Amino acid sequence: MSDFTPTEMMTIAAARALTNDDVCFVGIGAPSAACNVARLTHAPDITLIYESGTVGTKPELLPLSIGDGELCDTALFTVSVPEMFRYWLQGGRITTGFLGGAQIDRFANLNTTVVGPYDHPKVRLPGGGGAPEIASNCGQIFITMALSKRGFVDKLNFITSMGHGEGGNHRERLGMKTKGPTRVITDLCILEPHPVTRELTVVSIHQGVTREQISDNCGWPIQFADTVIDTPVPTETELKTLRDINARTKKAHQAGREAA
């Protein structure tokens, strides 16, 4: 078995969460890498949808943004953004959303707007884009983020995308009929909401990682499930697939910069 990095472990663990039957709304970055590894390995029939309206896309390279031409060039078809959100997303036709974020709290609410006071923030982030709608309307949500105290915080300054709100049945009380975040995949472990409180709970720990490391990198007193399993290590096929698409992407983007 080859050595692998924590980021590779996170991406491959996230890819494994997807199936052939998923219709998946894909975020840029780590979610895109995970979804395309799934497509190129165990889930060749997965339907990948990006926010720009590309449906059934099969990119050879990881896109730089939702407007990357690679997505439209390899899509089964492309629809307008209003149609994508109103008919496909709000119509309940997408089973899974795959998101990342700058910050997350213990109930899987995401912040991609500001760090600090809204009117005078320490950091102004890219904003929500379509993520709030994705978090509300996809059947379930998977989240990929590296585990750190900077990202996993006790209290968010701003909630951009709703997770489980204040915990418990908060989504139901707001009239939301979808499951919300069902899994958070990090570079150290995998978390899932507690069935009653909805607080994120460690259910799987990656190879070589200790409980102390996980606790030390989280901004709240993190909970562990009664039964915690060891995350299966990446296979040679999974690693080769991920590294190949990353290498192709890097080479193409370098060539583009040199040509410019």
* Mean pLDDT confidence for 88-114: 95
Q: Residue 27: what pLDDT?
A: 84
Token pair listed for 80? 């307008």
Structural domains of the chain sorted by starting position, each given as residue range(s) with its CATH number in brackets? 6-259 (3.40.1080.10)
Q: Dihedral of CA 73/74/80/81: which sign?
A: negative
Q: What is the pLDDT, as a whole number, of residue 66?
A: 85
**What's the predicted TM-score (pTM) here?**
0.93
User: Is 133 part of the annotated catalytic residue set?
Assistant: no
Is the confidence at residue 1, as pLDDT, over 90?
Answer: no
What's the CA gap between 25 and 99, in Å, rounded?
9
The three-state secondary structure class of 80 is: coil
Tell me: pLDDT of 156 over 70. yes
Q: 172 pLDDT exceeds 90?
A: yes
Of 51, 70, 133, 199, catalytic:
51
For the range 101-104, what are the long-range contacts, defined as Cβ-Cβ under 8 Å and sequence gap of 24 or more?
101/131, 101/143, 101/145, 101/151, 101/160, 101/161, 102/151, 103/150, 103/151, 103/152, 103/153, 103/156, 104/143, 104/145, 104/151, 104/152, 104/153, 104/156, 104/163, 104/184
What pLDDT sits at residue 28?
85
Q: Say if residue 88's pLDDT is above 70.
A: yes
**Residue 90, pLDDT score:** 94
Per-residue pLDDT at 259 exceeds 70: no
How far apart (Å, rounded) are the C-alpha atoms in residues 134 and 122? 27
